[in-house]
Amino acid sequence: MDERSELVDRVVLVTGGTRGIGRGIARTLARAGAAVAVNYCSRAEEAAATVAEIEQAGGRVIAVRADVAVRDEVEAMVEGVAAELGTIDVLVNNAGIATMRGVDDITEEDFDQTLAINLKSAFLCTQAVLPGMRKRGWGRIVNVSSVAARGGGAVGVHYNASKAGLEGLTRGYAARLAPEGITVNAIAPGLIDTEMAAPLKESGVADRLPVGRIGTPDEIGQAVLMVIGNAFLTGQTIAVNGGGSFL
């Protein structure tokens, strides 16, 4: 299979695509020939740095600011990307937060904020890109879940719930959209070397993993590329976790 041809002239939106895992996904898909929009919320300087990096490598890329938990901002973002790059063919719902909380110190606000940014955002972004994908009869949606969707993990119950919900959303959309040429899958990373993972890096997780190290953002990008290239793969969660389970 020629993976490059699948993405040449396709337009990709990666939410939270300016740093961490999202940046790894964005640069991998740009290398494969896609025009990429990287979304961010507050760190404009890191967005500019990611755009510069992808451009220097010969990629076509723009940065677009929006809080993905806010419907009006999502709709404006999708319209803006369409105006600058064209209709979105591939949506990667990657933006997320991981606010560490114990069972006794988690608040209602923590719970609501995590569900809004990690789960509702994927619903809002999916609804916004669907009309364009349906018109073309082709679309790829990849949701970045976590091993925490099925395991306990270290972040908290709000995070577990948001990622388990994201996998339910994935299967629900997949079943309904498959006849229209749109696949919907999830990637469930284990610990990946980003700012989000910093508090857990020193905990010895790497030593407990069969591969003996934590993952890189580009390794998640490769998994996203693989999923996009397979029209018969839908409604699945692909674990990319160095051989570990339920950390």
As measured in angstroms, the least distance from the Cβ of 8 to ligand NAP is: 26
E strands in the chain: 11-14, 35-40, 60-65, 90-93, 139-144, 182-189, 237-240
Nearer to ligand NAP, 35 or 239 (CB): 239
As measured in angstroms, the least distance from the Cβ of 152 to ligand NAP is: 14
Nearer to ligand NAP, 182 or 239 (CB): 239
Nearer to ligand NAP, 48 or 231 (CB): 48
Nearer to ligand NAP, 94 or 170 (CB): 94
How far is residue 110's CA from residue 219's CA, in Å, rounded to a whole number? 30
Q: Three-state DSSP class for 54? A: helix
Give the active site residues.
159
The pair of structure tokens assigned to 170 is: 């994935």
Residues in the chain: 247
As measured in angstroms, the least distance from the Cβ of 14 to ligand NAP is: 9
Q: How far is CA 112 from CA 17, 116, 150, 154, 158, in A?
A: 23, 6, 20, 19, 8
User: Residue 192 carries which DSSP code?
Assistant: B
As measured in angstroms, the least distance from the Cβ of 246 to ligand NAP is: 13
Residues 33/72/113/157 CA torsion (nearest 10 deg): -50
User: Residue 240 carries which DSSP code?
Assistant: E
**Contact between 247 and 187 (Cβ < 8 Å):** no
Nearer to ligand NAP, 6 or 200 (CB): 200
Binding residues for ligand NAP, per CB under 6 A?
15-16, 18-22, 39-43, 46, 67-69, 94-98, 117, 144, 146, 189, 191-192, 194-197
Residue for token pair 């933006």: 95
How many Å from the N-terminal Cα to the C-terminal Cα in the chain?
34
- CA 162 to chain CA centroid, Å, is 14
Q: Three-state DSSP class for 116? A: helix
As measured in angstroms, the least distance from the Cβ of 48 to ligand NAP is: 11
